[in-house]
A and B are shown apart, each in its own frame.
Chain A
Amino acid sequence: EPEVTQTPSHQVTQMGQEVILRCVPISNHLYFYWYRQILGQKVEFLVSFYNNEISEKSEIFDDQFSVERPDGSNFTLKIRSTKLEDSAMYFCAGAGVTDTQYFGPGTRLTVL
């Protein structure tokens, strides 16, 4: 059964550095999402992506964040200048023609 994959599983970075989190969605998915979960808190929606453009973004998704689907398979989340409060688990999710979203295993981002 196909699965969403994410790399790296753990990323440690210095404050102010740029990070790129990568996701490979299931091939027949059409809608792509990034969520994050700060330790001990709720899973929060960041951004949705459909037809090669952002369809909706939350208040969290400010100018420091960007998403791309550069080659039709990978789906990336870039944080331009990381802050301590960006430390969290970042989950990629995808959905096909139904609304059911399947999550990747996540990337743990630690900002020092």
Chain B
Amino acid sequence: QKEVEQNSGPLSVPEGAIASLNCTYSDRGSQSFFWYRQYSGKSPELIMFIYSNGDKEDGRFTAQLNKASQYVSLLIRDSQPSDSATYLCAALSGSARQLTFGSGTQLTVLP
């Protein structure tokens, strides 16, 4: 059974701080990992993906992957109130390359 686990939060950070979101996965065959943002009642919106060990930066976002520890994280620098949402971690695997999602971490950025 493929599982993706996230600390469900809620996580609150002050505006301008760094938010750190974590995720672990069970399937060592997972090839790529995705972070999506989901506002209440809306669909997942892609933030970024990572498939190599190490860090990947995109603007205020940095994804980190450690395949040995089966661990993925997302750092959000200079957090803004508009970043308040649920952040979904997803692992890609299977012959059809489908996504397995975690339950999400609810982030609130306080002005």
B88 touches A43 (CB 8 A): yes
Q: Given the interface contacts A91-B43, A100-B34, does A44 sit within 8 Å of B101 by beta carbon?
A: yes
Q: Give the size of the chain A interface in residues (CB under 8 angstroms).
A: 24
Q: Which of B42-56 contact A (CB under 8 A)?
A: 42-46, 49
**Stretch from B12-20, B60-68, B75-83, B91-99 contacting the other chain:** B91-99
Shortest distance from the beta carbon of A83 to any chain B beta carbon, whole Å: 23
Instruction: Assess A103 versus B45: contact at CB under 8 Å? Given A41-B103, A42-B103.
Output: yes
Interface-central residue, B32, B94, B99, by most chain A CB under 10 Å: B99
Q: Shortest CB–CB separation between residue A1 and chain B, in angstroms?
A: 12
Set of chain B residues within 8 Å of A101, measured between Cβ atoms: 34, 46, 99
Among B34, B36, B43, B99: residue with most chain A CB under 10 A: B43
B31 is an interface residue with CB less than 8 A from chain A: yes
In the complex, are the beta carbons of A91 and B97 less than 8 A apart?
no
The 8 Å CB contact of B96, one of A35, A42, A48, is A48
Interface contact A48-B104, CB-CB below 8 Å:
no
Tell me, rounded to whole Å, the shortest Cβ–Cβ distance linking A51 to chain B. 11
Q: Which residue of A lies closest to B97 (CB)?
A: A99
Cβ of A25: which chain B residues have Cβ within 8 Å of it? none
A99-B32, A99-B92 given. 14 additional CB < 8 A pairs?
A33-B98, A42-B103, A43-B88, A43-B90, A43-B99, A45-B100, A50-B96, A56-B94, A99-B97, A100-B46, A103-B43, A103-B45, A104-B43, A105-B42
